[in-house]
Homo-oligomer: A and B are copies of this chain.
């Protein structure tokens, strides 16, 4: 929230005592992106993984109210303690804190998402919602997303950026009582220009549905869409990604439109 104080870094704690790092994602526990994130995070502390057992892309800030959840340990990442959950990314964070860790972790990192979560995508993104849920619990949190949807994506640059961000967080270059949305461009490493602090671009999806007829003669619809950047600013995440930077946007979740709030007389 905007009322959060910017606190000094936890460097002292990190030196004395390895931080506990919760890792989750929305592509599911078997996605290559989460394995890449774990590889980086384990250099900074004790990693515990709680992630969905199936892809949950586009789940936004969904939580599971109407049915129970299951949690099962998996052995996918060597010595790392890991669980798959039948719920959404937000459920994973809630369950991890309450039933696995029994305390708040020192950091929560979500991703690395297969596909961009820049600009308006932040509100549809399960990756970012998991990180936001952690932030609501006052856990410093970052969502990482890489602009390559493919299963075979090369996460080398993404891992370099994740290492840079985690290091900046843990050493206090980035205020760590906060939430960040980090996106990484799909470019050759030698073209990479660095991490750029950005605001969320004003952009949207122009949707259209592909209409098809099933074998029984009934219509069905597939969501498709075209991304539209409505923002000419040079300090936006979309601009940064188009110009070979990785973007980092500090995120808050007080959705009040204060400009409008000030202008209305009821």
* 5 smallest beta-carbon distances between A and B, as pairs: A60-B61, A250-B260, A60-B60, A252-B257, A250-B257
Residue of B nearest to A120 (CB): B136
CB of A58 within 8 A of CB of B68, answer: no
Q: Could you list some 29 contacts between A and B, CB below 8 A?
A: A6-B263, A58-B62, A58-B64, A60-B62, A61-B61, A68-B221, A69-B209, A69-B221, A69-B222, A70-B219, A71-B219, A71-B221, A95-B221, A97-B207, A98-B208, A98-B209, A123-B253, A136-B204, A168-B266, A175-B260, A175-B263, A196-B266, A197-B266, A199-B256, A200-B254, A248-B266, A249-B255, A250-B264, A251-B257
Task: Tell me the number of copies of this protein.
Answer: 2
- Give CA–CA (A259, B64) in the complex, Å: 33
Say which residue of B60, B70, B209 sits within 8 Å of A99 (CB atoms).
Answer: B209
Give the size range of A's interface with the partner.
Answer: 35 or more
Q: Is A188 an interface residue (CB 8 A)?
A: no
- Give CA–CA (A219, B83) in the complex, Å: 14
Say which residue of B202, B204, B252, B254 sits within 8 Å of A199 (CB atoms).
Answer: B254
CB of B57 within 8 A of CB of A60, answer: no
CB of B260 within 8 A of CB of A256, answer: no
Q: Which residues of B contact A76 (CB under 8 A)?
A: none
Say which residue of B168, B195, B250, B259 sits within 8 Å of A261 (CB atoms).
Answer: B250
Q: Which residues of B contact A221 (CB under 8 A)?
A: 68-71, 95, 99
- Give CA–CA (A120, B136) in the complex, Å: 9
CB of A222 within 8 A of CB of B124, answer: no
A156, chain B: closest CB distance, angstroms: 21
Residue of B nearest to A64 (CB): B223
- Give CA–CA (A59, B90) in the complex, Å: 11
A67, chain B: closest CB distance, angstroms: 9
A50, chain B: closest CB distance, angstroms: 12
A198, chain B: closest CB distance, angstroms: 8
CB of B1 within 8 A of CB of A202, answer: yes
Q: Which residues of B contact A178 (CB under 8 A)?
A: 257, 260
Q: Identify 11 new A-B residue pairs, CB closer than 8 A, beyond the known A57-B65, A61-B123, A69-B221.
A: A3-B202, A61-B61, A62-B124, A70-B218, A70-B221, A98-B209, A120-B253, A123-B132, A179-B257, A250-B264, A255-B255
